[in-house]
Amino acid sequence: MQGICLLGATGSIGQSTLDIISLHPDKFRLISASANHSVDKMAQICRRFKPLRVVMGSEKTRDELARQCFDLDISFEWGAQALDSIAADSAVDQVMAAIMGFAGLSPTLSGIRAGKRTLLANKESLVTAGKLFMDEVARHDVMLLPIDSEHNAIYQSLPQTSVGAHKKDVSKIILTASGGPFRTWSLEEMVSVTPAQACKHPNWSMGQKISIDSATLMNKGLELIEACWLFDVTPNEVDVVVHPESIIHSMVSYRDGSVLSQMGNPDMKIPIAYGMSWPDRIETSVAPLSLIDIGRLNFESPDVVRFPNLTLAADAWFMGGTAMAVLNAANEVAVDAFLHHKIGFLDIAKLNEKVLSTANIVAVNELEDVLEADKMARRLALNMVYSGWLL
């Protein structure tokens, strides 16, 4: 029986994780869970799974949850310190790191330092503090399994050896992208894109932030950076290929000419179950893939003129230091501004580029360097948004 700490229980990854726990009550138990402000959803989780500890984002939401679940024997907590605590709890075997954004970095690191198997669905941890993060993974000899469908597919397509040991045989990592909802739209058409349109991903059911990132290809840019840290490569060793059907989740090209891929219907329960059950495979309730029904698979190169965020991500990786944290912070501000109708869809990439080119980039020697870069970039991006720089 594996005890699960679910960071980000009310999001799409969290819900799929709970589905896997429900399917396999003999293998997994929900020990702890967190949410930011979704009290009603968390109350349902508490009544169904009866975790020992629950953490909310504020004292107010904690108190409301405790009121709704007054009859349950659960420790109701709130705040960043409580998040760190549940990830390091001795009753926990695995940490599902599914808090979106920079807020997921600290509790994920806490779980790693406590020696927990870490199921990483929070790409910002690697994007903002990749070297520090991977150094901690190595120092504490932690099993780190990527949950993003693309990185999980790469992991499955590589020899199951230590990270880096495969490099002599691999020529390229091929990272697939759906292309998002505006893959065929012109720049002129994208000028008037609305948040509602941008949140309608053609293949995946995801939250607003990640859906917008997919629509701008920033999600793929962040995944490019993440792949570099996870698999010890540079952006020059990763090809991004647009694959609209999202059936091949990523591939690895070997020096002998072989290309190995992981395929499946687009459902996050597959990589989640793989991470939770590794090295075994377990039932997910996802329908088997039928290539006959699909008929054909399509591939094309990404258009970095219409979607410049992909290039910005590679640039940030080569700049090094705090550049990746700066880009991530700027993008979070830009996406939020777009969702609140403060800037246009195409302005997201413009704001990201301006902040990246303006910010002071320094070396990362400790986590505080990343935190300061994040704060500085957010201030810079917000000033640009509210000064009307993009108008």
Residue set of the binding site for NADPH? 10-13, 122, 124, 207
Q: How many CB atoms lie within 10 A of CB 162?
A: 8
CA-based end-to-end distance of the chain: 56
Tokens representing 209 are 């932030």
Q: Is 380 exposed, middle or buried (0-12, 13-18, 19+ CB in 10 A)?
A: buried
Helix, strand, coil in percent for the chain, rounding step 5? 50, 15, 35
Exposed, middle or buried by CB within 10 Å (0-12, 13-18, 19+), for 197?
A: middle
Q: Please give the annotated binding residues, written as ranges.
A: 10-13, 122-124, 148-150, 178, 201, 207, 214, 219-220, 223
Q: Quickly list H helices, the chain.
A: 12-23, 39-49, 59-68, 80-88, 105-113, 123-139, 149-157, 187-190, 195-198, 208-216, 218-231, 269-277, 291-294, 309-319, 323-339, 347-358, 367-386
Q: Residues annotated in the binding site for Mn(2+), as ranges?
A: 148, 150, 223
CB 54 within 8 A of CB 42: yes
Binding residues for 1-deoxy-D-xylulose 5-phosphate: 123, 149-150, 178, 201, 214, 219-220, 223
